[in-house]
Structure 1
Amino acid sequence: MSLPVPRRTARFVVRVRVRWERSLPGVGVRRVRELSLDTHALAFGAQQLLCTAPLVVAVGAMFRHRPGHGTGIAIARFFGLEGESARAVEGLFGRTSPSIGFWALLLSLVTAVVFAAGVGAVQQRAFELIWDLPTVRSVRTSVQQLAWVPVLTLFVLALLVSSRLTARLDAQSDGLGDAAMIVSRVVVVTLFYWWSQRLLLARRVPWRDLLPGSIAIGVLTTGTLEVAHLIMPEQITWQLHAYGPVGVVFVLSVWIVGVSTFIYAGALFGALLAERRRERATAVLEAEVSVTEFDDLDDLDDVDGLGGLPAPAAAG
């Protein structure tokens, strides 16, 4: 007798739900809720705006007199903006004084470095939550966060330089520059976050476990920037006409928060893969131990059986 349709439907729904909860995406969604990673991503995006942006502006101030350089031009090139949207971003960051003193520039750089170290601290806390590690607060961690800032500066410069080089390459060969930019961004972002996680986690996670998540971060952030290249110009133009420069800042903030979210998503993906790999290794080890114990018991049973055979009866 067949089961009623509603009961079969309920069982199907239960099976699908159980499989989803055991799958990698299902575990990831549950872990996001448990760790409140969405809140950490918002905090990370805010830190990027408040702390990393001053560092970019301070570094860009050193090159503002060179043609084709400057913070606004670099940001517009980084997001692939053209036309009115690029001019809006350049105007947002291009209102600098005609000259700047050495000590004022030095003070700006030092202040920006100290603020940018806060970005490293926020990421360290999130990475510790993702990898289920205890929080470490010491002088050594503060030094590591400060040491992370110069590499962050080199990372940003590498992305900007790659954007400039690939733009020249695209001018010579149509389409080749875009492909080179995608590959270079994936490689640069992967290497940076592979090293950053290792440093900020105080070498408590092996390089091998950090690599898949770092590759995921590189792919996700590069994909986000490619989508931004298609959508962002129209958004900036519309917001500029509607709200002025504040609308441009709002659009940039939304995309920065989006990139921050995918950075944590990639790190979580790597942590879940490492966790699954450890679970499989443990299951294989337990299975091997069980088989070994079972074989030993069989050997003992054979010995007991031989020793327990009845002795042959005596003749006559």
Structure 2
Amino acid sequence: MSDTSTVGRATAWAAARAKEIREEFPFVTRLTRQLVAVNLLDSATRLAAQTFLTAIPILFVVAAFAPDAVREQMLESARGALGLSGDSLDQVRQVYGDGGTDSAVRDTSGVVGALVMLASATACSRALQRVCERAWGLPSAGLKLIAWRWVAWLCVWLAVVILQNLLRGGFGAGPWLGLPLSYAASVLLWWWTQHLLLGGRVPWLPLLPGALLTGVGVVSLSWASRLYMPRTLDRSLAEFGPFGLVFSLLSWLIVLFTVVCVGISAGCVIARERPVARRLRTPPAGRAAAA
């Protein structure tokens, strides 16, 4: 009987503390509910897996068909984003081959990669679209409204990835210009991404908080990755071979898309806070869903 009363008192105390927290920090409560609504860990893992599966065929297509300058820019962007060096960089270089690679082999690999890419390349954009829709409480968009947007998003992001190293270096001026340019480009890109994948059902201004949080978070993670990812990748490659490299890259992608999902979700919550909603003219949840 004593044990039962103790458990009852502990449960009542925990419920009371939870109620106090909800009343004292309503934003935290709303953000928690939002993260649950978007299935944070499940969505981040799904996006990481889809991105990895999309990146592999694109990598082979670029290796087979792209001009040498584009291939080199893609390699430099990957090296700059992850700080690739040593054995891990050599593994990536092997995919691209050298100038003496047999053209027939490259063409065959490119055709296979192109066929796979056509079948799966939009999986990442579709998964990201679902995250945006869940964050804003919107139903799935019709295929006619959204299908072409998946391809447009993929093409723009591929161009951004190729040019990422030039942007990070400030187009030759150095990091003092490259860092602010990277932040500005990332914010604009995530602002456009949300509007595109939501099919224009949410106005531009309410999407700005999510773009700021996501853009700043992604670039900060990318710059921080240059400090610890090279050692992590080389150690994984030395201990487990190519499988270790795959595991490390997938883990990094999960962290990246966790930042993305949190940024989009928190941005939606901020945009619906009363003072911010008045300034940004955020539509009520019911009206956005109806749209």
TM-score bracket, shorter-length normalisation: 0.7 to 0.9
Moved more, 69-78 or 99-108: 99-108
Distance change >3 Å, CA 162–CA 211, structure 1 → 2: same
User: C-alpha deviations, 1:16-57, integer Å up to 9, x for none?
Assistant: 52345512x332123212331220111011110001342244
Q: Distance in 1 between matches of 2:224 and 2:23?
A: 32
| Gap regions ≥5 residues in structure 1 | 1-8, 170-176, 282-316
Of 141, 147, 152, 2:152 maps to 147
Kindly provide the amino acid, as one letter, of the partner of residue 59 in structure 1.
V
User: C-alpha deviations, 1:121-165, integer Å up to 9, x for none?
Assistant: 1111110000111112323321222222221222222313324x4
Structure 1 residue 113, shift from structure 2 partner? 4.7
Distance change >3 Å, CA 276–CA 106, structure 1 → 2: same
Kindly provide the amino acid, as one letter, of the partner of residue 75 in structure 1.
A
User: C-alpha deviations, 1:210-256, integer Å up to 9, x for none?
Assistant: 11211111110111112211111111121111111211121111111
Of 45, 58, 62, 1:59 maps to 62
Distance change >3 Å, CA 11–CA 265, structure 1 → 2: closer
Of 79, 82, 100, 1:76 maps to 79
Structure 1 residue 59, shift from structure 2 partner? 2.6
User: C-alpha deviations, 1:62-120, integer Å up to 9, x for none?
Assistant: 447459816544412222334454334434x3457532576874674464255222211
3-state secondary structure, aligned to 1:204: coil
3-state secondary structure, aligned to 2:273: helix
2:237–2:245 CA contact under 8 A, matched in 1: yes
Structure 2 residue 222 is the aligned partner of structure 1 residue 225: yes
1:20–1:26 CA contact under 8 A, matched in 2: no
Of 15, 21, 26, 1:22 maps to 26
Kindly provide the amino acid, as one letter, of the partner of residue 138 in structure 1.
L
Structure 2 residue 197 is the aligned partner of structure 1 residue 200: yes
Moved more, 122-131 or 69-78: 69-78
TM-score (norm 2): 0.77
Distance change >3 Å, CA 161–CA 56, structure 1 → 2: farther
Q: What is the match of residue 120 of structure 1?
A: 125
For residues 249-264 of structure 1, the aligned pairs below 5 Å read 249-264=246-261
Distance change >3 Å, CA 57–CA 182, structure 1 → 2: farther
1:117–1:145 CA contact under 8 A, matched in 2: yes
1:209–1:271 CA contact under 8 A, matched in 2: yes
1:64–1:70 CA contact under 8 A, matched in 2: no
Higher RCO (C-alpha 8 Å, min separation 6): 2
Runs of 4+ in 1 over 6 A off after TM superposition: 9-12, 101-104
Q: What is the match of residue 307 of structure 1?
A: none
1:120–1:148 CA contact under 8 A, matched in 2: yes
Distance change >3 Å, CA 161–CA 116, structure 1 → 2: farther
* Paired-residue identity, %: 23
Q: What is the match of residue 244 of structure 1?
A: 241
TM-score (norm 1): 0.72
Query: C-alpha root-mean-square deviation of aligned residues, in Å?
Result: 3.2
Distance change >3 Å, CA 167–CA 154, structure 1 → 2: closer
1:213–1:268 CA contact under 8 A, matched in 2: yes
For residues 125-140 of structure 1, the aligned pairs below 5 Å read 125-140=130-145
Of 35, 39, 43, 2:38 maps to 35
Q: Distance in 1 between matches of 2:70 and 2:150?
A: 34
Q: Distance in 2 between matches of 1:144 and 1:126?
A: 15
How many residues are paired up? 264
Kindly provide the amino acid, as one letter, of the partner of residue 144 in structure 2.
V
Q: What is the match of residue 3 of structure 1?
A: none
Kindly provide the amino acid, as one letter, of the partner of residue 263 in structure 2.
G
Q: Distance in 1 between matches of 2:165 and 2:118?
A: 19
Q: What is the match of residue 303 of structure 1?
A: none
Q: Distance in 2 between matches of 1:230 and 1:212?
A: 28
For residues 162-311 of structure 1, the aligned pairs below 5 Å read 162-163=167-168, 165-166=169-170, 168-169=172-173, 177-277=174-274, 281=278
Structure 1 residue 190, shift from structure 2 partner? 1.4
Moved more, 11-20 or 184-193: 11-20
